[in-house]
Chains A and B, each alone.
Chain A
Amino acid sequence: METKTTLLDSRVPSGPLEDKWENHKFSMKLVNPNNKRKFDVIVVGTGLAGASAAASLGELGYNVKAFTFHDSPRRAHSIAAQGGINAAKNYKNDGDSVYRLFYDTIKGGDYRSREANVHRLAEVSTNIIDQATAQGVPFAREYGGLLDNRSFGGAQVSRTFYARGQTGQQLLLGAYSAMMRQVSAGSVELHTRSELLDVVTKDGKACGIVTRDLLSGEVSAHSAHAVVLATGGYGNVYFLSTNAMMSNVTAAWRAHRRGAFFANPCYTQIHPTCIPASDDFQSKLTLMSESLRNDGRIWVPDAFDDSRPAHEIPENERDYYLETKYPAFGNLVPRDVASRNAKNVVDQGHGIGPLKNGVFLDFAAAVERDGHDAISAKYGNLFSMYESITGENPYEVPMRIYPAIHYTMGGVWVDYNLMTTIPGLYAIGEANFSDHGANRLGASALMQGLADGYFVLPYTIGDGLADQLGEPAVSADDPVFTDAINAVEDETSKWLSINGTRSVDYFHRELGRLVWDHIGMSRNKEGLEKAISEISALKEEFYSDVRILGSADTLNLSLEKAGRVSDFFELAELMAQDALKREESCGGHFREEHQTPEGEAQRDDEEFAHVAAWEWNGRDALQTRHVEELDFENVTPTQRSYK
């Protein structure tokens, strides 16, 4: 691996921070309303980012083709987001502002995100709430009929809008219905159960995609003037995560292999409040919304290896470690801080539950203070979800929680226009790397997905398309497409011909263990080097020993998954390289060699105040590390303190 310090052009506009987006909107080229129908745009993925982009582009008059590998766009994993969505409305009159949301996001991201992108995100946040409300999203309301807010980790104002514990579901259904309205109007052509297996370029420019129909196995080409990836994050590289079973990195990774740089893969977020694993064949972990930390108190027994039930442990033998250590933020410290502290107390031997792998999240004080009904109104569905999974009633015994992989801040590198290093290819939502730095604040994922899809991409994509007026899209019969189709078909038959001895899931689980152990909540040089060699060995075994039965021309779930797991292997290797090369701790990336005397993340702003974007050099070559320097003109990076 060589480090090449080419400056990536982020195309951040000049001028004062608060005028950049306004000025940029004016300076971008426009496509006249009557000409928009002459442009084909492909949107891959129909979660918050994809559905909102497809709907907005369709409304503008573009010919949109939307692709999802689910049976319906409404299944996308955005639907599982529980807690809420941030917006700088300042409805609570508690001193919130666009600048404060911008500041909190930059600070929460541990000074590893682009100021201009984050400020734009904060600016458009308020429009998202207006748009969603107009679509009929049933946000929580107060008795006066106006919208309610709550506070969330990493913030000292109440700026989070929510719809019980199902905010993601309601926002997605809003974006989905907006998109279905365009399907009905004929401006969006919807392709379900179609999985992207290649991004196609001609003369260095994106011209379409190759997809496989998951029911018939048919591989086909789709061409367009621009391609948008809205395909989510890569948390499932850990096997056990809070991501949905099918969430994967394939679309982003195949784009990466075609020339899109992949940025900051080692920035992964561990969510502090998930239900601990209960056995070896656990298939996924379930998140309990972070909003629970508003009313729940986190503690562990003072004693080591204490097996008494929670109610038998007296107050003076409990350690409310977050409240003691961080009096200002208490249980509401950012996710990375909460997670690392949980890991510390469990590693020290204070873990609770049958496997000693959790900490308590206790609602006894809240129930006593506010009453059963008030707590039930806020968290009822979360409590019943917890009960159905664990068989324990959180009104009576404290929840058991432990951190799990939840979100990935890294992703496809994009410039200010959300365009990747392949001209004509865009990445939005969790699939890109841009706004959360090294750690994402709670309730900001929904905000970013919808900001990109509703209010950023629909403007910036026109700037790229305007120059192509009069040029037809590359024909789907062009050799670049037939070559790509053949390659995908070859790969599919390759999987079926290996006929080894172990299932795809076996390899995925083993890979996940390696990634969690060495590239998880804390990392060190030795572990990362070990990970690199072990992942590589396991990958070879996967290619020679995986057993995939059945055929390619029917629904074949193992076959689908094989390609996704193969991409996870390559990604995992890059994550380890990236983590190894980043000799500092920041946000979700914690290198044990780099910590303050109190055990907090120790950044190195001299050497690492930059984005690392990796360039693919072929299967057998190491990737090249490119650097985009981050300029902090408005916020001065400091050691984060939540005390």
Chain B
Amino acid sequence: MSEVITVNLKIWRQESPSKEGYFEEHAQKVTTEASFLEMIDLLNEDLNNKGLEPVAIESDCREGICGTCGVMINGQAHGPRKATTTCQLHMREFSDGDKIVIEPFRAGSFPVIRDLVVDRSPFDRIIESGGYISVNTGSASDANLTPVPKEAADQAFDAAACIGCGACVAACPNSAAQLFTSAKIAHMGSLPQGQPERWKRTESMVGTMEEFFGSCTNHGECHEACPKEISLDFIAFMNRDYMKAKVKNRALSGQR
């Protein structure tokens, strides 16, 4: 049943990318039925009433699918509940008097824009560099012409479930984006439709990823933080494909 609790918030405030950030403390009363973001809504309402600027925090669907929300809650990306985005976290996970430290996702390639809002556009650069199957509108054959083994379709889906929130990068001690990148590579690489560009796609996306992000050292923190529980196996898939791609790349064949 719902009860009213008071939580002690320590929230990161930062006016702009170039300004120094700092922590601000607020005690917030809330019922345990509320979602975490509704608790922040209440705080912002109170701040606004007192003439203080509300905390900038992003969210959109509040259903755990759009990937817009995401903050560090007590040092964990998206907070304490497994497989849950910030927007799906509810205050019933907390107790009266709890201290909650709220920070933006921390990563060199995710600069803070304001307070808890960061810039995750490097993810779009990775997709742009090859995260697609080149098929112009109108040129597709009948959908049932190419049967896809159910297991392959299911694996592709497991990888495609990534919501691009960036929790994997935030949780990684190296700020690596292997889980995000491999999810897209494995999604398309598992399907017959993705085969023609498989090797080129892998090389290109890995290349772009490395321009922005750190290297993977197999900590597995990304998987632990992932609200969609994307499997580490996809990183292995990507590494294997990357190696194969280097061998299969015809432009490099003279150097072998």
Contact = CB atoms under 8 A, between A and B. Distances in A.
Interface of A: 52, 55-56, 59, 70-77, 79-80, 89, 91, 127, 129-136, 138-147, 163-164, 166, 169-170, 173, 176-178, 180-181, 183-184, 190, 192, 215, 244-246, 278-279, 281-284, 286-287, 384-385, 388-389, 391, 454-455, 458, 501-503, 505-506, 547, 549-550, 554-555, 557-558
Given A70-B60, A554-B15, A133 B134 contact: no
Contacts of B83: 384
B81 interface: yes
Interface stretch (B20-28, B187-195, B239-247): B187-195
B65 A79 contact: yes
B128 A183 contact: yes
Contact of A72 (B54, B84, B121, B160): B121
26 contacts: A71-B120, A74-B66, A74-B124, A77-B60, A79-B61, A131-B137, A133-B140, A133-B143, A134-B135, A135-B135, A136-B160, A138-B191, A141-B153, A166-B161, A180-B132, A215-B113, A245-B60, A283-B35, A283-B37, A283-B38, A286-B62, A385-B88, A503-B49, A547-B48, A549-B54, A555-B117
Contacts of A55: 137
Contact of A145 (B54, B56, B129, B149): B149
Given A74-B67, A455-B137, A244 B157 contact: no
B191 A71 contact: no
Given A134-B193, A180-B131, A555 B56 contact: yes
Given A145-B147, A281-B41, 8 more contacts: A133-B146, A134-B140, A138-B157, A144-B147, A215-B113, A391-B92, A454-B137, A554-B16
B5 to A, nearest CB: 14
A281 B133 contact: no
Given A283-B41, A555-B114, A139 B153 contact: yes
B34 interface: yes
Which secondary structure dominates chain B's binding surface? loop
A356 to B, nearest CB: 15
Given A136-B191, A279-B33, A131 B134 contact: no
Contact of B64 (A59, A130, A385, A502): A385
A71 B33 contact: no
B159 to A, nearest CB: 9
B34 A142 contact: no
B47 to A, nearest CB: 9
Nearest to B148: A145
Interface in B57-89: 58-68, 81, 83-84, 88
In the A-B complex, the 5 residue pairs with the closest CB atoms:
A145-B147, A177-B132, A134-B140, A133-B143, A138-B157
Given A138-B160, A391-B90, A283 B62 contact: yes
B147 A146 contact: yes
A91 B65 CA distance: 29
Given A59-B137, A138-B156, A75 B150 contact: no
